[in-house]
Structure 1
Amino acid sequence: MNLTQDFEEYDEVDTSDDDCGGQLDRILVPKLPVAQFDDYDPNRPPVTGAEYLRRVQLEAQKCPEVVVADMDLSRFKSNQTLVYEDTNGFIRLKPELIPPVDWQREQVSEFSHVRTRLAKEREHRLSTGSVVTQSVPHNRPMNWWREFCIGKTSDNNSSDDSSDESICDDKSDVSTTTDGTPNSSSQLKRTKRQKPEPNVPLLSTLCGLTQDEVVRVLSYHIQWIRQFKFTQHMGLWIYSLLVCLDKPLPADVYSTLRDLSRVCSECRQRCRSTSDDCTEWWALNLIICLIGGYFDQTDMCDQ
């Protein structure tokens, strides 16, 4: 037995030989030199330090790379007090009810085209100074937006909001004169409407919204879907607001989109089971498809 290598020389030893071969030895690089043995009996107890290191090396080569404990976990179920469900709350459709993949791709492509057209229109209006900032007054409360987007609703709270400002009957606050100047204050006077009709998302309105307003009104729609029945008019506003979102999106906006997809899946489940009219059902499918396919929330869509 001759110890022919020192620590410096041992670092240069090829680990592909029989003594240090194998995948395990390539991961666990030896740190101590092991002497070369011409005749070594592994069944004989080691009597020197070199023989002991050789014995450890041979035993390490016999160990499996991965060791998994074989345990019976069923005996611990009686002690479990908290059950964790790995779910995001999104209700997926049955495979036979999922919209065709071609339809989903077509909707995402058309949505991208609409976003491009809106971006060009915004840029054109900004460059020509034709953006009408009076189209939608800023810093309005949620009840004002509810009346503006979906009209007066028959909930218990809508009749008590006497302090909220309501929309003008003649909609003069969203118009300008022929020479491009805003109307006089008398034309902008606010009046109470007995039965206000919901407004459609006009291009002039969408171009006048800031990103904070887009996200805020979008979050309002999530509350309205939970509080009221989903309608096609809600779907029209949600689609238009999604078009207005500028990428890249902040994390809180992605959270809003996930909440929207989640509540749409819940509403779709009720709509499918209680109504024969599939119009709202397809509108909900479209919103879910766009959130998953265009905004990359793939775990919040059916496919």
Structure 2
Amino acid sequence: MKSNKKCFHKKVKFDGDSDSLLTPCFQINSDVVLKEIPTTGEEYLLRVIKEREKFSTVSKCDKDFSKFAKNQSCFVEELPHSKAPDNLRPTIEWQNIQVADFSDVRMYVSRMLSKKALWPDDVLKLELNPNNIPAWKNLFEKDPKLSCVLGLHSAMLDRGLEILTEILDDVKPGSTLDHKIGQWIYAFLACTRPPLISDTTSILRNLARKCAEIRSHLDPDDESSKTAAVPLNIFICLVSRYFRQYDLAD
């Protein structure tokens, strides 16, 4: 069947002396005069062409980077990530179990978030100044409850997890994190909202690196170190495999 549609092809003639493949899309009559305020389509096109001629075809950055301070960089410097001793490194099977269990907890939290009308009254009563460190630490001395974390918005979740990571700086070499602090970290991770923004990702990576650092100070020859490494391995596993920071994985 023969189509009735007409095709119009633009004939392009290349100039061998020109080093440009740019060709005009519209032809403007030579009688068109450049006006301050165009009144026709051709006058408007002529004005656009004249304004474009004021700029170079290829733009380049002319900033003098030598004026930057020596301690400034356009790149973010990654902190080192301590590797696990062979006898403290978790198996991939163990890590898969942790990710599966954590996924179930996250699913439960998601269902709770979708039913705010059914929340108990104490969920929405937690109010903290994000910069009040003593208030945060006072909260973390209590037993962690889902009602204390579920009502926090993303920025507060990030801030709480950031402070929990800073608390890990107090862990002495050869020791592991406090059980209650570990429960709080797990609760904050379970309530962290997707999709992750860059700040949240940075906090999660800092947590994994801090846990790896604490683990690196455990005595691999001490039988109790295997138990001490468990919570550290869990958080490294969740950050790397659930939150997809795979370069930090064991």
* TM-score of the superposed pair, with normalisation by structure 2: 0.61
Cα distance between partner residues in 2 of 1:211 and 1:259: 17
Tell me whether 1:112 sits opposite 2:98 in the alignment.
no
Question: Identical aligned pairs, as a percentage?
Answer: 28
Cα distance between partner residues in 1 of 2:187 and 2:170: 21
Q: 2:244 is matched with which residue?
A: 296
Q: Decide whether aligned partners of structure 1 residues 105 and 129 sit closer, same or farther in structure 2, where only a CA change above 3 A counts.
A: closer
Question: How many angstroms does 1:286 deviate by?
Answer: 0.4
Q: 1:222 is matched with which residue?
A: 165
SS in 1 for 2:122: coil
SS in 2 for 1:271: coil
Q: 1:264 is matched with which residue?
A: 211
Quick one: which amino acid aligns to residue 289 of structure 1? C
Which of 145, 151, 160 is equivalent to 1:202?
145
Cα distance between partner residues in 2 of 1:94 and 1:268: 9
Cα distance between partner residues in 2 of 1:129 and 1:110: 23
Cα distance between partner residues in 1 of 2:206 and 2:94: 23
Cα distance between partner residues in 2 of 1:130 and 1:97: 41
Cα distance between partner residues in 1 of 2:99 and 2:119: 31
Q: CA RMSD in A?
A: 2.3
Question: How many angstroms does 1:235 deviate by?
Answer: 1.1
Q: 2:122 is matched with which residue?
A: 132
1:135/1:204 contact within 8 Å kept: no
1:232/1:279 contact within 8 Å kept: no
Deviations 1:52-84 (A, max 9, x none): xxxxxxxxxxxxxxxxxxxxxxxxxxxxxxxxx
Cα distance between partner residues in 2 of 1:134 and 1:299: 37
2:85/2:216 contact within 8 Å kept: no
Q: 1:194 is matched with which residue?
A: none
Q: Decide whether aligned partners of structure 1 residues 275 and 218 sit closer, same or farther in structure 2, where only a CA change above 3 A counts.
A: farther
1:133/1:208 contact within 8 Å kept: yes
Tell me whether 1:255 sits opposite 2:245 in the alignment.
no
**Segment drifting more, 132-141 vs 103-112:** 132-141
Deviations 1:188-243 (A, max 9, x none): xxxxxxxxxx2122121122222111110100011110124521211111111100
Q: 2:54 is matched with which residue?
A: none
* TM-score of the superposed pair, with normalisation by structure 1: 0.51
Listed as ranges, the gaps of 5+ residues in structure 2 are 1-12, 14-76
Q: 1:178 is matched with which residue?
A: none
Q: 2:81 is matched with which residue?
A: 90
SS in 1 for 2:180: helix
Quick one: which amino acid aligns to residue 123 of structure 1? S
Deviations 1:147-169 (A, max 9, x none): 220xxxxxxxxxxxxxxxxxxxx
Larger radius of gyration: 1
Cα distance between partner residues in 2 of 1:115 and 1:134: 19
Q: Decide whether aligned partners of structure 1 residues 88 and 300 sit closer, same or farther in structure 2, where only a CA change above 3 A counts.
A: farther
Q: 2:191 is matched with which residue?
A: 244
Q: How many residues align?
A: 169
Deviations 1:121-150 (A, max 9, x none): 2222x133645355422325111111220x
Q: Decide whether aligned partners of structure 1 residues 122 and 272 sit closer, same or farther in structure 2, where only a CA change above 3 A counts.
A: farther
Deviations 1:266-290 (A, max 9, x none): 1111134596534331000000000
Question: Bigger relative contact order, structure 1 or 2, given CA contacts below 8 A and separation 6+?
Answer: 2
Q: 1:162 is matched with which residue?
A: none
Deviations 1:96-123 (A, max 9, x none): 4321111100100110110010111222
SS in 2 for 1:246: coil
Where in structure 2 are the equivalents of 1:72-87 lying within 5 Å?
none
Q: 1:166 is matched with which residue?
A: none
